[in-house]
Amino acid sequence: MSFPKADSSVAELMVAGYQKHLENNFWGLTNSMEEFTEIMRQHGMSVLELDAHSRGSMTIGNAMESLSSLSTTAAGVLSNTFVNFFGAAYGAEKAAELLYELSGGKQNTVNLQNHKDDFEGGIIGGNPYSYDKRPENSSKGKEWINMFKNGPTVHSCYGVGKDGCESAYGVSKTIQVESYGKNKK
């Protein structure tokens, strides 16, 4: 399941802004998020592996926040769920906290691939980086501008990535972000 891509950069930013700041049980959930929340409810106790790149991580995070707001009825609903973020616009540590709570303490990590120069994963998502190689003639600023171009870019080179990713940025590395906060027993 994926959230539809907006048809322009301005629309994409507006959707991302809504997801980041307004999508919740109070202001309302998008259709994609409601469907995703239902999939989590139905399959989270069997084996469910959730992979999300960029704005997709907000769909997963917002869905977990929505489930968490159901209080005690949600405990354990994600007991056999695994979460993988790639250049995530949602905070991996916050997602790990929610996963810990919603799994009844059975899961407490989110796998993360995030390049040091990825604006979305670092600045918007506030995530740590897992690797940092970039072309010699590049800089953080150049990489941020390149994100709006047609790859390879720091934001498009997760997992297998596009042609040229490995030579430009190296092999993407995964780290585990663990729940350390208030929900940890």
| pTM, two decimal places | 0.83
Q: What's the mean per-residue pLDDT of the chain?
A: 83
Asked if residue 184 is part of any domain, the answer here is no
Tell me the C-alpha distance between 24 and 27, whole Å.
6
For residues 163-182, give the mean pLDDT. Answer: 88
Percent of the chain at pLDDT > 70 equals: 79
- Dihedral sign (CA 105, 111, 116, 122): negative
Residue 43 has pLDDT above 70, yes or no: yes
Domain of 33 in residue numbering reads as: 9-178
For residues 6-34, give the mean pLDDT. Answer: 60
10 Å Cβ neighbour count for 18?
Answer: 14
| Predicted local confidence at residue 30, as pLDDT | 61
Asked if residue 140 is part of any domain, the answer here is yes
Asked if residue 169 is part of any domain, the answer here is yes
Asked if residue 18 is part of any domain, the answer here is yes
Number of domains comprising the chain: 1
Coil, strand or helix: which one is 103?
A: coil
10 Å Cβ neighbour count for 10?
Answer: 9
Distances (CA, A) of 105 to 72, 76, 133: 13, 8, 35
